[in-house]
Each structure stands twice: as C-alpha cells, then as structure tokens.
Chains A and B, each alone.
Chain A
Amino acid sequence: MKKVIHWKFTLILLIVGFMTAVQYNSMKSPEQRDTRDIWTIRQELSNEKQFHSELLSEIRELDNTIKTYKSLSDENTGKALMETVDKLHRQAGMTDVEGPGIIIEVRPSAESIALGAPITDISPDLLTRFVNEVNRYKGFTLEIDGKRFTTLSSIRDINGITTVNGLNVSKPPFSMKIISSSLKESEKMYNYLAASPIHDDFYLDNLLLDIRKPEASIEIRGFPERFDNQFLEEMPKGE
C-alpha cells in the first residue's frame, strides 16, 4: 500500500514539476518590445513588397516556361529545352553580351607617377569593394580586365597577384566594363559611380578611377570555362 502511494506521488510530482517548468519557460522569455518607429516599419514593408514583386515576376517567368513546354509538341520539346539551356547559359554569364554600358579605366594617379612610386597591383580588397559598390544595381554584367565577373567568380590573391576567376589582373592601367539593361540605367550608374566615395579608396592606393560616359553599345565576352557539375548526374538511357 505504501509503495503504491509513493508511486502515485512520484507520478503526480513529475507532472507538477513538468508543468511548473513549462510555465517558467513560458514566462522567462519576455516579449521583445517593438521599438521601431513608423518609418523603419515602412522601410521594412517596402523591402518586403519589393521582395514580393520580385518573387511574382519570377513565378511569371517560370509559368511562361511551363506554358512553352506544354504548348510545344513532342518534336519541339527538344527545342524548348535548348532554349532554356541557352537562357541559363546567358544567366550564368557564359555567352557574349552586347549592350549599353560604361567603360571604367583604372590608372595610376598623376601624383604617384610624378613621385615615381612603383605601380602595384590593385588589391583584392579594393576590387571587392568596387564590385560591392556596383552591386547596388541589379541586372548588370561586369567584366574586369577582360575577365567576365559572374556570381560564381572569385577575387583572390594568389601568390601576391590579384586574380579574378583565377586569372591574373594586369597592373594598372586596365579597364572594366559594365553593361546595364538600358542606356538610362547606364547613365544612372555613371552618375552614381561618379559621385561615389569609392574614388577616395582608390586614391589611397595611388589609383584613379576614370569613368567614361555611357556608350550605346559595348561588348563583354562570356565566361570561357565550363562549369563542373558535382551533384547532377545523367540518367542511363532507357530506364
């Protein structure tokens, strides 16, 4: 009898302890006070709205692709697939691109030439900073000293030499090209870069950023290397 009482007490105490602990847990985390003012919230709202519209346009694009697949008869399916592959290649930066854009030349500054300072490579940090600055704008194509800069590209220091995609960036002067979706966008980017504080960063490294006026048509070469496909495998035929 006594043992039974103890077991029941134990069980009930276990439940009581559990409930108390859960209650403690729930009370312990106080609600985070929302201290944002109306403008911060508006800002966040607009960010979310932008995200929303981006997602919507993506969905629309994919819907279009599905429609193309559906409307095509069997013999044309291959063609549709090829089109998709082409589009993906374009997106990945493997094809040559031509369009309105600006050419930027990086030169050693006049002072450093006058003082006879040795011309050094542009540092990877500075180049990354520049790319980040340009990255404020969407939908552009960038080439650094003849090397196509894609989302997969890397800017690194290899044995003291700055490289893009593993290829050496030549000592200044060299040029960079940025193609935008329209001439208007190019002008916007030109204006932005002309007033950007990135010039000071370049000047600290004895370099000048010479931004030329937007041109109606410039050309950027594609990313010449093939991509490694590590995870996707072709299915054996007939299975």
Chain B
Amino acid sequence: MTMWLPLLGLMLGISLGLLSDIQIPQIYNNYLSIAVLAALDTLFGGIRAYLQQVYDDKVFVSGFFFNIVLAAVLAFLGVHLGVDLYLAAVFAFGVRLFQNIAVIRRILLTKWTERSKHSNTNAPE
C-alpha cells in the first residue's frame, strides 16, 4: 500500500505541472533541465541506497537540494564564463544515473531470482 504513495506523489506532481501550464522563459531552460537531471540522479541514488540498506534520510534530502543548486550554479557559471560547464553536470549526472539504475536492476534481479528459487524449492513440499 505504502509502495504506491511515492508513485501517487509523482503523478500529482506531473499533473500539477501540466495543468498549471507554467512555462519558463527560454533562457532558463538549461537550468531547469539540469535541475531535473540532478533531481532524477538523487532520486535513483536514494532508491539504490534504500535497496542496499545504506539509506540515510539526511544524505538523501540534502543531496537532492544540494545537487540541484550545484547544477544550477554550474550552469550559471558556465553561461557567464562562456564555457559550457553545464555539460559537465549533464555528463556527471548522466553517468551516475546509469550506474545507479544498473545497480538497482542487479539488486532487483538477485532478489527476484532468489524469490523464484525459494518458490521452486517450496513447491514440491
């Protein structure tokens, strides 16, 4: 039951964003996209940590906001220095996103295979 609560939050957020019809100006598009990337990275990091049972509340929440702010600052700095620094953030977050998702997939796979093994061994009894 509680498993659905986060999903409900996601749905609520998406519908809120779509229905409110907020559009940010073109020049801030970079910032938002990188913030979204940072948020996704932290989120998947959180899920991985939770599955590995090393989840820490403070790390997760602070990481979420800190990463977003850091990404935005990097993008801002990049714009003003004339170097596309936001690409660094995109790269870093992208790589981490893939790694995190890979780890999550492996953990889930192991869990799943273990469970099916259990049910197989349980079946003949």
Contacts and interface: CB of A to CB of B under 8 A. Distances in A.
Contacts of A19: 13, 17, 32, 35-36, 39
A25 B36 contact: no
A10 B14 CA distance: 12
Interface residues of A, number: 28
A12 interface: yes
Contacts, number: 104
Interface string A15-50: 111111111111101010000000000000000000
Interface in B1-45: 2, 5-18, 21-24, 26, 29, 32-33, 35-36, 39-40, 42-43
Nearest to B55: A5
B86 interface: no
B50 interface: yes
A interface, by DSSP: helix, strand, loop or mixed? Answer: helix
B60 interface: yes
A131 interface: no
Contacts of A5: 50, 55, 57
A82 interface: no
Given A7-B5, A22-B32, A26-B32, A16 B21 contact: no
B93 interface: no
Contacts of B39: 12, 15-16, 19
Interface of A: 2-27, 29, 31
Interface of B: 2, 5-18, 21-24, 26, 29, 32-33, 35-36, 39-40, 42-43, 46, 50, 55, 57, 60-61, 64
